[in-house]
Amino acid sequence: MGESKASRVRPVLIGLAAVVGVVVIFQTLPVAGWLSSFQDYVRDLGPAGYVLYAACYAICVVLFVPASVLTLGAGAIYGVTTGVAIVLVGASIGATLSFLLARTLLRQRVEKMTEGNAKFGALDRAISKEGAKIVFLVRLAPVFPFTYINYAFGLTGIRTVGYVLATVVGMIPGTFAYVYLGTAAATAATAGDADQARTIVQIGGAVAALVVTIFVARLATKAIREAGVES
């Protein structure tokens, strides 16, 4: 009974800690000035600014550079709706390019990278049986590093269209949560006394979004294990 209660409370504590940590970083560093400068730069670019941000995100994914900072930044700069759209486009393009490179130019190198990896072998077998469903579950749960698994998926038998669709849909919950977190942190760092109520609502929403994402990830991880892939 005690373990069950702790299991329910843990995601809430993790979500709260993540929000507090990001807010502290945004308030400690001169983030408000950085955001203001970058917003002015992007605004001057017009629609090209969206394209530039998404392109930078895609390049980071292809080059194995963690793009979590860019995810938070998209929320801080563009807000939730536009930020989620930009991150999804950038991450999807990067994931697709990595997948296609693994099937063509980098196939031998990726094969060496995954050689002898029992977890990847189990993943490959699971995909051969259940296809895009496994890709979707992996996107929901952080069982494998995002930049690594994009290349590894290229060695499996899944079709490109199924891979892309499962990737885009599976990334939505996590992307929304982290973009929302970036928006809430930026609001907390730049808001005045008159905006305290709005800040509290956004921080509460960010905690809720992260908690839901953690619960979904746990369910997806369980489903992946049931499919024969140990996490």
The structure tokens listed for 139 are 């996107």
Question: Which amino acid is located at 9 in the chain?
Answer: V
The structure tokens listed for 96 are 């697709």
Domain spans, the chain: 2-226
Give the pLDDT of the chain (231 residues) as one tens digit per residue: 444 555 555 555 555 565 556 555 555 555 555 655 666 677 678 788 899 889 989 998 999 887 887 888 888 888 899 999 999 999 999 999 999 999 999 999 888 888 877 888 888 888 888 889 999 998 988 778 888 899 999 999 899 999 999 999 999 998 998 898 888 877 776 665 556 666 666 667 667 766 777 777 777 778 887 877 765
Question: Which amino acid is located at 221 in the chain?
Answer: T
**Closest CA relative to residue 22, chosen from 60, 57, 71, 56:** 71
Task: State how far the Cα of 134 lies from the Cα of 127, in Å rounded to an integer.
Answer: 6
